[in-house]
A and B are shown apart, each in its own frame.
Chain A
Amino acid sequence: MNTFLVSARHEMLNTRRARTAHILLIVFIGMVIASSVIGWVTNQTVTGVYNKVVADGLTTAPNPFAGVSPLYYARNAVIYVLLIGSLMAIVLGVQATLRDRKASTVDLVLSRPVATPARLLGQLAGLAVVLAAVIAISFSVSWLIISIINGAPLGWDDTGRVIAFGSLSWVLLTAFALLGMLTGLRSKQETTALLVPFVIWSAVAFVLPQIGTAARPVALLNPVPAVASTGGYFDVVSAFTGPLSLTEQFKRASSMILQDPNVTGEATSSILILLAFLVVMTVVVVVTPRNRMRSGLNE
């Protein structure tokens, strides 16, 4: 078996045995299930109020949930992927590369006829499979719950959209796992290996979207920025910060996939930006030199 496959299998085994991974998996699945339940409760509550208002003769407007896609129930999952999923992926990524440095097992690995790119790609593949499994389990449960709430199994089109949303989530989480792997390889201390990707994630998830929004003040009032372009300086700042706001790109593309009526446009550019980030991170991790891999920790 070659280095890539051996490393991938080893990574899966190590992650499966790690308690942290179990806890994060349980939390993530729990949140995705909660997302469906919250969507269903919201629907029930609003519909209940609507029925009462209609019965009192106060409105003749249609039920706001009439004609809404059943995928609406999974909408909150977008936020849980961004918050819990990304952090889980970062922790798994840091553990993957830091494990060998902490225990000095890296010397045992590198004293063998191993190509370091194959070793790192193998570890990444192992993590990617673990993340795919987590997403597959979570979204299968989500599909099941939505089907139960809906009173019938989701159709092929909606099922395809759930799969597309899961695939996009996998791209985002794998990219964050790579960020964790990178800091696990490069940091001099275990604490910084965890802190640095969390800071970057915070910036990407919270700071950059804020800059983008603040730079387009009309967008704060209007959810469809293209309709109310402010032009000039705001457009320039937004053009730079927009692609870097990976989480915003993910939210936008996911919302379109899940047929959120509040978001319009096309998802291709957002998906391409996420894929580009994944490719760049892969290259940056894979070119790590041998000496860097075996550098000790200052603690």
Chain B
Amino acid sequence: MTKSAIATDNLSKSYGSTLALDALSLEVAAGEVFGLLGHNGAGKTTTVNVLTTLLEPTQGDAEVAGHSVIADARAVRGAIGYLPENVQFYDNLTLIENLRFFAELSGLRRPDQRIRDVLRILDFEGRDRQRLGTFSKGMRQRVGIAQAILHAPSVLFLDEPTSGLDPEGVRTLRETIVRLNSEFGMTIFMNTHLLSEVTKTCTSIGILRGGTLVHHDTLAKTLADFPGEDSLEEIYFQLESEPVS
């Protein structure tokens, strides 16, 4: 396998007799913002769950930040940040209590300075004593980013990060993602339905259909390869409908 930030080799995952991910082989270079597209049920969340070691693959292997998700899952967990879809927290606890818990679980010994830095990056200053139960959906999503980057991971997994956000929330989150990639050099692997956001944030894309990767290339090359199409949306639907080779 290569020294890419993420490299999967013939990765498959079945739930009983249902094949959710079929022999996925994919590389994401360090420093990229990768967008994984696909309809509901295409296997996007399964892919992220396997790469974050929440699920064990049925077949194949993957390396994340240079560690195997099977043989060295603990090292993978130490190197990644993860924001699940519809992220939830301990609503009885304050923002800082939630973040301190996740920072300490990640192995940070004296996390308070790091938490303050992250709160500044995400514009949460002055809210650290508020209980999470009082936060809006958009704010919770940003807290989700905060907990994911506390330990300065080299790879960040975002599962539908803009799901349920209003336009302002989407914009703020997009700016955060771009900043994390450009300023802190994080490799970002993102599942999303919002193709307009992919155009604005991703450097490369992949399209999953029924668990099979039907397209993988840089965004620039993908757009260049379809000169007649007006938008990524048109390209997406065209690729989605093509027969699998």
Instruction: Give the contact stretch, choosing among B101-109, B168-176, B225-233.
Output: B101-109
A18 surroundings in chain B (CB, below 8 A): 92
Per a CB cutoff under 8 Å, which of A7, A103, A107, A113 touches B78?
A113
| Minimum CB distance partner of B86 in chain A | A104
> Contact between B77 and A114 (Cβ–Cβ < 8 Å)?
yes
> Contact between B106 and A103 (Cβ–Cβ < 8 Å)?
no
> Contact between B105 and A112 (Cβ–Cβ < 8 Å)?
yes
> Contact between B102 and A112 (Cβ–Cβ < 8 Å)?
yes
B78 surroundings in chain A (CB, below 8 A): 112-113
A13 within 8 A of B: yes
Per a CB cutoff under 8 Å, which of B74, B82, B107 touches A107?
B82
Main secondary structure of the interface of B (DSSP, over half): loop
The complex places the Cα of A105 from the Cα of B102 at a distance, in Å, of: 10
**Chain A, 1-27, CB within 8 A of any chain B CB:** 1, 3, 6-7, 10, 13-14, 17-18
A112 surroundings in chain B (CB, below 8 A): 77-78, 102, 105-106
The count of A-to-B residue pairs whose CB atoms sit within 8 angstroms is 60
- What total of chain B residues lie within 8 Å of the partner, measured CB to CB? 28
A7 surroundings in chain B (CB, below 8 A): 105
> Contact between B80 and A111 (Cβ–Cβ < 8 Å)?
yes
A55 within 8 A of B: no
* Shortest distance between the CB of B154 and any CB in chain A (Å): 14
> Contact between B77 and A103 (Cβ–Cβ < 8 Å)?
no
A291 surroundings in chain B (CB, below 8 A): 55
* Shortest distance between the CB of B149 and any CB in chain A (Å): 13
Contacts A104-B84, A111-B53, A112-B77; A1 near B104 (Cβ below 8 A): yes
B54 within 8 A of A: yes
Contacts A17-B93, A111-B54, A111-B82; A104 near B101 (Cβ below 8 A): no
Contacts A104-B86, A108-B84; A113 near B92 (Cβ below 8 A): no
The complex places the Cα of A243 from the Cα of B105 at a distance, in Å, of: 40
> Contact between A14 and B92 (Cβ–Cβ < 8 Å)?
yes
A294 within 8 A of B: yes
A3 surroundings in chain B (CB, below 8 A): 105
* Shortest distance between the CB of B104 and any CB in chain A (Å): 4
The complex places the Cα of A112 from the Cα of B102 at a distance, in Å, of: 8
A207 within 8 A of B: no
B87 surroundings in chain A (CB, below 8 A): 104, 108
B106 surroundings in chain A (CB, below 8 A): 112-113
B88 surroundings in chain A (CB, below 8 A): 103-105
The complex places the Cα of A110 from the Cα of B97 at a distance, in Å, of: 18
The complex places the Cα of A66 from the Cα of B84 at a distance, in Å, of: 68
Contacts A1-B109, A113-B78; A107 near B54 (Cβ below 8 A): yes
The complex places the Cα of A6 from the Cα of B109 at a distance, in Å, of: 11
**Chain B, 52-76, CB within 8 A of any chain A CB:** 52-55, 74-75
Cβ-closest 8 pairs across A and B: A17-B92, A103-B88, A111-B82, A6-B104, A113-B78, A113-B77, A112-B105, A111-B52
Would you mind naming 18 contact pairs between A and B with Cβ atoms under 8 Å apart? A1-B104, A6-B101, A10-B101, A13-B93, A13-B97, A14-B92, A17-B93, A99-B90, A104-B87, A104-B88, A105-B89, A108-B82, A108-B87, A108-B102, A112-B102, A113-B75, A113-B77, A291-B55
User: 18 extra interchain contacts, Cβ-Cβ under 8 A, other than A110-B54, A112-B106?
Assistant: A6-B101, A10-B101, A103-B88, A103-B90, A104-B84, A104-B86, A104-B88, A108-B102, A108-B147, A109-B105, A111-B52, A112-B77, A112-B78, A112-B102, A112-B105, A113-B77, A114-B105, A291-B55
